[in-house]
Chain A
Amino acid sequence: MKELVNSIEKQIETDKEVINVLPRNGIKSIKTLLETIKDMIDKYNYVDNKLLENIEERYNQLTDVKEFADISKLEQEIQKYNSAIKIIDSSSSYEKMGLDKIEYNINGYYKSNLERLNKELIECVKKFEIVGIKVTAEDFNISENAKEYMKVLLEEAYNGQINSEKIKEAFEGAYWNCSEVVSHLYANIRYLYDIHKNEINKYFQIRAENILNEFNCTREQIENKKAELIKKKKLLENIDNKIILNKFFNGTWNINDYKEDNYNRIYLELISTDVKNLQEKEKCEMDENIEKLNENLIEYSRFNEYKFLSDTVLQIREEELRKNEANKDKKVKKTQYDILKDNIKELTVEIFKLNEKINKPVKGLFAKHNDKDKKTIILKRNNSILELKKLYMELDDEIVKQKIIESIDETSSLLDVLKLGSNFYSFMAKAIIKKNDEITDKELGEMAKRIRDFIMFSNFSVINYVKISDKKDLSIIIKDKYKLFGMQVSKENFQEENIEDLMRKVRIISNYNNILKSKFSIKDLEYITTVKEFLKR
């Protein structure tokens, strides 16, 4: 339609010429000129609106896209498999219930946010309910303060008032009675778990059996199926019209990166051959390699972000192995874990004996004298609860150490190590804080979620294969693989200051190839992004 464009350009030139040549001397000619300009303004405004209407119509047609229905179906399937894996995996019932996270938050939130603390406490009660244990305020009997507070909280929560004045008053009352009331709640939840542990384990055992029967396959098969579904979903997302469009709309992708010249230039940089000289089959194979490299680089980069966690696990393993080696000739009757368990049992018995004394009604002449005694006993009991909490926290550390020694050996993969570290919320949180001691509670929660999501919803192709005993750096392993396929990647590309650039280039090529598999052409996207900008005006 070049002719049409030329004719329009010509008319504009002619009209411009008319304006320029019309006389401007004398009021009569000025009026004629004004009329001519006015007519032209009307005419061109009409044309402008007509063009705008058509531009918008095309824009609306092009951007009227829906996400593939299969994506949400696959997402549901993945979630189904993921929930199943959470039940059948080797973590303890405590982690399966999510009490590790709740307890960590209870221990941390009370200093900053009463509402969040309350949400965690309610969540905890719900978690017990899910596994068939009805928890009431009466179960928070480690101290009168814990019980009184939970009584008000549960009553108010039942009426949907999780942040009411009554709760605030109750907390204040409990707090002034004993400023460690949250530690009491923490220890009480651990105690509740301990006394119901067998029932809870049974619950998860039955659920695991049911799941394996329902899926009619092994745990490994379920995990493989989930990985397959994640891969399938990713492939669909890569070429989904709506997702591609949104990447441009929200600024994740920039249309200038996807101009053909840029694509050809990056391709040349990556393979040292002009893309135009590649045979169709060669190009196809190279595109596949670049796609795989893109996935590997994303995985590598995210693993690097969370490497501090697997490093912490490996460091503990080293220390424990050294300790075990040093103690191998000594006759050790009980492990630290056993000692802690015994101490917890003894201290719990002591606390409840003290509680019996505290709760014994006192009457008569000696009431005042006994009141003083009672205060002394309460003080002793409160100190014991703090000690109990400390022991539980030490036990958590011991459990992680035990699990590391039991599960990690030289044949373990980097993924196995990262997974183990992320299974224990408190352990993971401590490692996050060690890496960044200025992190806020909210940021920590988000980071922990990102790590767990990375493990649960990735289709791994590197860190699940690389063993901890591999002496080669992960980046070298990836680089060597792609060099074999004719790609120009070097050790320097993987250095901290260069990796982003390599990732960006590989991502552009991959995305470009995927765009071509969608309904859009690059020209369509250029049109859409340009029109979107001027529709904003």
Chain B
Amino acid sequence: MIEARELTKRYGARTAVDRLTFTVRPGVVTGFLGPNGAGKSTTIRAILGLDAPSAGTVTVDGHRYDRLAAPLREVGSLLDARAVHGGRTVRGHLLGLARSNALPRRRVDEVLGEVGLETAADRRAKGLSLGMGQRLGIAAALLGDPAVLILDEPVNGLDTEGIRWIRDLLKRLAAEGRTVFLSSHLMSEMELTADRLIVIGQGRLLADTGMRTFIEDHSKGGTRVRTPDGEAQRLRALLEAHGAQVRLDARGGWRVAGIPPAEIGELARAHHLAVHELTPVLSSLEDVYTAMTRSSVEYRGATCDMGADRVPGTTSHGKEAAG
């Protein structure tokens, strides 16, 4: 369980995280979403005791991270999988971490097996592919068999098989009763992996809710309706007469919003119109998320315009540090 209460982090005049309050519960995978620069990494660094909050608190299972006697046995974390000295071997890296927390040596081989790096154990970190480096980062997080896992962009650089592997792994770890908290900018992946969502923008909490609820509550989907070509315009006029908004659907037929699917079917039957398809359409997480965070992104763009040394649209200045 991770609990943030009024967590605030200021860097000089800039407020990276602004009175953030949320709870990450055990037993489910919780996704952490926000545009670049929203404060995700700052929040995670505060949880891990790397950056001290300017105000408020954040605890793991009721304790501040820097007060944990053996932190790796309680919290496994992956911040940047590239953060391994290139000259170190895979086994050497894990062995050092194991010694730091008085973990038994056998754990090194166990986690290497778990992430499928047994054969790479004696290779130096600089020779690892992006995907293998990511697996090494996961292995380090699992080393202490922790009840809480905090992973920043864990699927970065993984191929399809690797992404599927990590999705299954995270779901299994959550099912074992662990707290799993991950950030990712890959919406489709997050939609498949996470059960709950914490969404932030400009350092403020935008949503803390279940994945399904989040999509259903914010969905602008409607219903896709297909009729034989000759009847399409009649159906449109009929539905609009009953207060629906009708537009063309990208996949053919009409996208109808404003009245529920059942009523569409009943209306069509009453007017002897054939219906070939009647599909409720939910927005994807990406649609909902984009709509929700657009305002904060635009706001950021506006503040950039005002900065004397910043030119909007230039790559060097326009990019925010990774959230």
Physical interaction between A and B: no
Chain B interface (Cβ within 8 Å of chain A)?
A: none
